[in-house]
Amino acid sequence: MIKKRIPFILVIALLLVPLSAFIHLTTGEIYVSLNDFFSAIFEFKGNNSSHVLIREFKIPRILIAIVAGGGLALSGMLMQTLFNNPLAGPYVLGINSGASLLVALSLMSGFSFFGSDIGIISAALIGAFLAGILMMAVAQRIRSQISLLLVGLMFGSFTSALVSILESLSGEGALKAYTLWTMGSLQQVEFDQLPLILFIFICGIFLSFILIKPLNMLVIGERSAGLLGLKISQVRFLIMGITALLAGLITAFCGPIAFVGLAVPNLTRILLRTQNHRWLILGNLFFGAVFLLLCDSIIQLFSEQIALPINAFTSIIGAPFVVFILMRKLK
């Protein structure tokens, strides 16, 4: 029964991805028919505005929503398994804060390399990885889950304070660039950047699948997994590396997007009711993509009335869900 239920849910989730992408495609201010869509893909003409709209604006936005939703959910799941804590996630544990701090430093440092796209992406990746290493070191010493989360939140506050100091010292241009970056966006990615993004994303998924067995063993706790022969430090390093790669990639191209990495893995666990990471990885990828596609569709739907940043919108939906998880845990 269980064996049939989980694949069934996953097939539905998989089917929801193209359906959500279709909804996303049709909720924009400019209507796009499927005919136009396919002709823009297979018979692209640079002087046709509809083709440019679809190829340069619609497709990158849809694909980055899938990558960001799936990637953040997957990295959140990895964090939750590593720290054995349902409230862990790249945002709560300060991975995003680390990326944000390094991006702020790069944008406001005045070095031209850091002002470039590659500079910002490198800064986000390094920041995410350093924050991950720091949190891992703290996790070695602190056993309490709540204390670890508090440390993550404190780290977030600390980086915010540093960013505020940087803001007060920086010029108007850098300040504006950073403030806009913090709002998050799924619309800044160029069609030409997609191959690189998809390549890193697929690498992240591939590495996660390689770690299925260690991830399943970590569910019973690090100590027990170690007794069963798992090389904990190596696994930790790999998990943190994958998380930093995915969260850093998404933060670099889209800015911070809150709560997806926290809410979606919990939702996936509730729906699938399994600790098998073979299913959880797939579930997080599909549900994460659907979640962000639908969030962005709602933003598109109301774009004439209100200009909503994606980061604010995911927070509005995600924050109550975290409260729900906390209350559920306290019961």
Partner 1 sequence: MNNIKFFIALNCIFLLLVVSACSQKDAQLIQVSKSKNSCKYSKWLQIYEGEKSIEIKIIHPDHPERIYSFSGIKIASKNLSQSKEYILIPCKNIAALSATQIGMLSVLDAENTICAVSDSKYVYNASVKQGLQSGAILSLGASQEISMELLISSGAKTIVHSAFSGDFPHRKELKKMGITCIPNFDWREEDPLGKAEWLLLFGYLTGKEEQAKKLFSELVISYKATMKKVKKQTKDQLISGNFIRDYWYAPAGESYNAKLFKDAGMNYIYSKTKGTGSYTVSMEKILMDTKDVKIWINPGFSSRAEIIKSNAKAKRLNCFQNGKIYCYSNDLNKFWELSAVQPHLLLADLYSISSRPSPKNLHFYKELK
Residues that bind partner 1 (CB under 8 A): 28-30, 49-50, 52-53, 56-58, 180, 183, 185, 187-188, 190, 300, 303-304, 307, 309
Q: Which is nearer to partner 1, 131 or 293 (CB)?
A: 293
Q: Which is nearer to partner 1, 46 or 229 (CB)?
A: 46
Q: Which is nearer to partner 1, 57 or 237 (CB)?
A: 57
Q: How far apart are CA 312 and CA 331, in angstroms?
A: 29
CB of 165 to partner 1, least distance (A): 15
Q: Rounded to 5, what percent of the chain is helix, strand, coil?
A: 80, 0, 20
Are the C-beta atoms of 255 and 183 separated by less than 8 Å?
yes
Q: Where are the beta strands (DSSP E) in the chain?
A: none
CB of 121 to partner 1, least distance (A): 14
Residue 134 half-sphere exposure toward CB, CA atoms < 13 A: 20
CB of 167 to partner 1, least distance (A): 13
Q: Which is nearer to partner 1, 50 or 275 (CB)?
A: 50
Are the C-beta atoms of 265 and 80 separated by less than 8 Å?
yes
Q: Which is nearer to partner 1, 177 or 212 (CB)?
A: 177
Total length of the chain: 331
CB of 139 to partner 1, least distance (A): 35
Element of type H or E holding 59: helix 59-82
Q: Which is nearer to partner 1, 50 or 216 (CB)?
A: 50
212: closest CA among 224, 233, 230? 230
CB of 166 to partner 1, least distance (A): 17
**Two tokens at 76?**
């959140």
Q: Which is nearer to partner 1, 241 or 309 (CB)?
A: 309
CB of 24 to partner 1, least distance (A): 12
CB of 247 to partner 1, least distance (A): 21
Exposure string over 5-23, b if 16+ CB within 10 A, otherwise e: ebeebbeebbebbeebbeb
Are the C-beta atoms of 18 and 284 separated by less than 8 Å?
no
